[in-house]
Amino acid sequence: MRAAAFYDLEGTLVRTNLVHTLGFYARNQPGLWRSFKKSAATLLSIPLFAITDQYSRQVFNTLFFKRYRGETEDRLRFFADELFEKVLKPAVYPGAFELIAKSRQLGLRQVVVTGALDISVAPLMKYLGIDDYVANHLEFVNGVATGRLLPPVLASATKASWIREYAEREGINLNDSYAYSDSISDLPMLSVVGHPAAVNPDFRLRQTALHHHWPILDLR
């Protein structure tokens, strides 16, 4: 059986997060007044997002992606390449390329498991040379976002469930596989493989990694 390397994306391979992406889209709304209102609302919501994320990643996703309600799918796709060039590409950690290259030399399949939007990260996946990835999908009705995510919503334990299903489908040996994340919210994802590693970890994940003698990497 083959093995894989599973990566979280934001905070792990790139320094940006979901708020940076939403802020970019907000700044590119038609009409200066609408753009200002949406950008300001995003900035004012950051403390709420941070507190909610510490409490529950699922609740965070429910609140956060409501901000996309009313956005058209065509417009989000239109700006995806510009988002990549201006926001995501410059944010890739220098050590990310080396980590992926070493992992590929081991014969591991490269897989990103992220709570970001599929529309937003597709160009970045090509740039990083990722074999496979899974991301969250907005619900669109008649081409307009409802502000809801289609299941499965990738966060916390859901990521681990997806990895198990992926491994069974693709013939991946999880005991020989690796996982990388920066956040304690991804502890289920890290725990499902035989070789977990903390990357640029938050305080709680760093303490957990030290307790379990997991590698701690700094890609910055």
Concatenated DSSP letters of 104-164: HHTTPEEEEEEEEEHHHHHHHHHHHT-SEEEEEEEEEETTEEEEEEESSP-STHHHHHHHH
Residue 35 has pLDDT above 60, yes or no: no
Q: What is the mean pLDDT of the chain?
A: 85
Per-residue pLDDT band at 59 (split at 50, 70, 90): low
pLDDT of residue 89: 94
> Which tens digit of pLDDT belongs to each residue from 43-56?
445 455 444 444 45
Asked whether residue 114 carries a pLDDT value surpassing 70, the answer given is: yes
What φ, ψ does residue 133 adopt, rounded to 5°? -155, 160
Q: What is the pTM of this model?
A: 0.84
The Cα 97–Cα 198 span in angstroms is 17
Q: How far is CA 157 from CA 73, 131, 142, in A?
A: 28, 23, 31
**What CA–CA distance (Å, rounded) separates 220 from 7?**
16
All structural domains of the chain: 4-217 (3.40.50.1000)
pLDDT confidence band for 33 (50 / 70 / 90): very low
Rounded mean pLDDT, 82-108: 94
Whether the per-residue pLDDT at 165 is higher than 60: the answer is yes
Q: Vertex 157, ends 131 and 145: CA angle to 5°?
A: 70
End-to-end CA distance of the chain, in Å?
A: 33
CA 41/CA 38 separation, integer angstroms: 5
Q: What pLDDT score was predicted for residue 60? A: 66
What share of the chain in percent tops pLDDT 90?
62
In angstroms, the Cα distances linking 62 to 67, 135, 151 are 10, 15, 12
Is residue 212's pLDDT more than 80? yes
The pLDDT tens digits for 10-26 are 999 999 877 777 777 77
Q: Tell me, what's the pLDDT at 155?
A: 84
Which of 43-52, 58-67, 101-110, 183-192 bottoms out in mean pLDDT, i.e. has the lowest?
43-52
Cβ-proximal residues to 117 (8 Å cutoff; 6+ apart), any chain: 21, 76, 135, 136, 137, 138
- Burial group, residue 181, by CB count within 10 angstroms (0-12, 13-18, 19+): buried
Which residue, chain included where needed, has tokens 């307790």? 211
pLDDT at 132 over 90: yes
Q: How far is CA 29 from CA 32, 75, 120, 122, 143, in A?
A: 8, 9, 16, 21, 16
